[in-house]
Amino acid sequence: MASNVNPTVRRRRLGQELRRLRELKGMTAEEVADRLLVSQSKISRLENGRRSISQRDVRDLCGVYEVEDHRVVDSLMQMAKDSRQQGWWHAFGDVPYSVYIGLETDAASLRVYDPQVVPGLLQTQAYAEALIHGALPEVAQADIEKRVKVRMRRQDRISSTEYPLRMWTVLDEAALRRVVGDKQIMIQQLERLIEVSRLPHVTVQVLPFKMGAHPGVSGQYAILEFPDAADSSVVYIEGVTSDLYLEKAQDVQLYTVMYEHLRAQALNADQSRDFILDVVKDFTRD
């Protein structure tokens, strides 16, 4: 089961509470930054959970917001302490998109659209190795191996019997036909997709080329939802040098509506398995 002291999620919850206290005080982030002689960007990063929050930060902010209830201060201080613990991914050293991994580890459900490749949680090891090597040709082999190990470890959420991740994925046909590695790797990968799509908590849908233009033409994204109602949903968009996390309700709603349109236009689960099997046959004949 996901840890109840997941540092990424704790930072988000703490940041949300600090933002609420600031807004109750009627202060802007700029005003708080001026009072504490820090940058406005620091206050913003603390509130959005992208920066580690120290107990001293909490103490100083509670002082500015004139929080007099010691129980509230103590609770926030404990959250700050918990948020500085290390998640399982830190054992692998400096890991890219570690913020996303922390969110994924604690999520209850994940909706993914990918127009180019099979999502990481559904990749075979051979496919992952070939994909990372091709996408990052200048990265050292040791770093590629580390990334693959992290990706395989993330898949524990799919195979878990205790706390499985509810996952929907809509794949463009291009993700099935793009040869990553070689044809044998692709056959194994597509067979893996068919296998995992039969799990009760995983739904795989294919969007064929013939569907033409659709709401996903702008690119890949994922929507994460959490078991605790206090944790707002997040839209994750992966970038080359930095990633984008959208948490405003109107942004999440927009991407959610887009996703429902994608699911409606895609083949259903049974049709998608048949479609993937046909692609496997095409690779076998070639």
For 92-132, the pLDDT digits (tens) are 877 777 878 888 988 999 999 999 999 999 999 999 999 99
Neighbours of 242 (CB within 10 A): 7
CATH of domain 7-85: 1.10.260.40
Work out the pLDDT band at 4, boundaries 50, 70, 90.
Answer: very low
pTM of the model: 0.77
DSSP track, 8-29: HHHHHHHHHHHHHHHHHHT--H
CB-based burial label for 19 (10 Å; 0-12, 13-18, 19+):
middle
Instruction: Give me the mean pLDDT over the 258-285 stretch.
Output: 96
| Fold match flag (7-85 vs 89-285) | no
Task: Locate the domains of the chain by residue range.
Answer: 7-85, 89-285
Contacts of 189 (CB under 8 A, 6+ apart): 118, 123, 124, 126, 127, 180
Of 262 and 74, the structure prediction assigns the larger pLDDT to 262
Residues 106 and 8: their CA atoms lie apart, in Å, by 9
Contact 169, 112 (CB under 8 A): yes
Three-class SS state of 195: helix
- HEC string of 225-253? ECCCCCCCCEEEECCCCCCEEECCHHHHH
Please state which of the four CATH numbers 3.30.750, 3.40.50, 3.30.420, 3.30.870 is assigned to the domain occupying 89-285.
Answer: 3.30.870
Instruction: Give me the mean pLDDT over the 48-77 stretch.
Output: 85
Instruction: Give me the mean pLDDT over the 137-152 stretch.
Output: 92
Which of 7-11, 31-35, 155-159, 184-188 is the most confident on average? 184-188
Looking at the chain, how many residues does it have? 286
Residue 48 has pLDDT above 90, yes or no: no
Contact 257, 221 (CB under 8 A): no
Give the closest residue to 85 by CA, choosing from 53, 63, 45: 53
Contact 216, 258 (CB under 8 A): yes
Give the per-residue pLDDT at 3. Answer: 43
Contact 113, 89 (CB under 8 A): no
Contacts of 190 (CB under 8 A, 6+ apart): 176, 276, 277, 279, 280, 283
Residue located via tokens 């840890």: 3
List C-alpha distances in Å: 121 to 210, 214, 271. Answer: 27, 24, 22
CB-based burial label for 122 (10 Å; 0-12, 13-18, 19+):
buried
